Structure formats: C-alpha cells, structure tokens
Amino acid sequence: MDRRAKVNRKTSEVEVTVDINLDGKGKFDIETGIPFFNHMLSQFAKHGYFDLSLKAWKGAILDKHVNSLSRPHAVFNVQTWHF
C-alpha cells in the first residue's frame, strides 16, 4: 500500500499545494513565506522520516495578518509588560 497523498487547495486568500509520503526518507521542500513555519515543518519531516513538499502562496488579505504573526514583537509589545 502506498501511503502518499497530494492535495491542492485554493481560496480567495491562499493557495496551498502539499505532497506527503509517509514512507519517505525525511526529504522536504517547504515554502510558506514564514521562516519559522518553514523551519518547524522541515523538522517534522526530517525527524519523522516522511517526505514533505509544501508550497503556499498568500494573497493580499492574508499578508498583514501573516506578517504580524511572523514578527511576535509586533503582536506583543514587550515594553508594556510589567513583572
């Protein structure tokens, strides 16, 4: 049995293509536009020994939201925290 899947999804905000092989060797090709997300997904594939190819293209509506999430200091202003 081949444990592999390929899925394409397109909405008004984002287009995603995922190809996964659960019986792979830990190869990966990740492009989400968010460096930390790229890193985490690549580590899952590498250490989980599955092959993962993931491409995500974001639209203008998602840009502002994703950019704020990829820069935590923009979401949480540490200077205003009081301990």
Helix axes 35-48, 60-70, angle to 10 degrees: 80
Q: Say what the pTM is.
A: 0.66
Q: pLDDT at position 42, please?
A: 96
Domain range annotation of the chain = 4-80
CATH of region 4-80, choose from 3.30.9.10, 3.30.479.10, 3.30.230.40, 3.40.50.970: 3.30.230.40
49 by DSSP, 3-state: which?
Answer: coil
pLDDT tens sequence across 12-22: 888 899 999 99
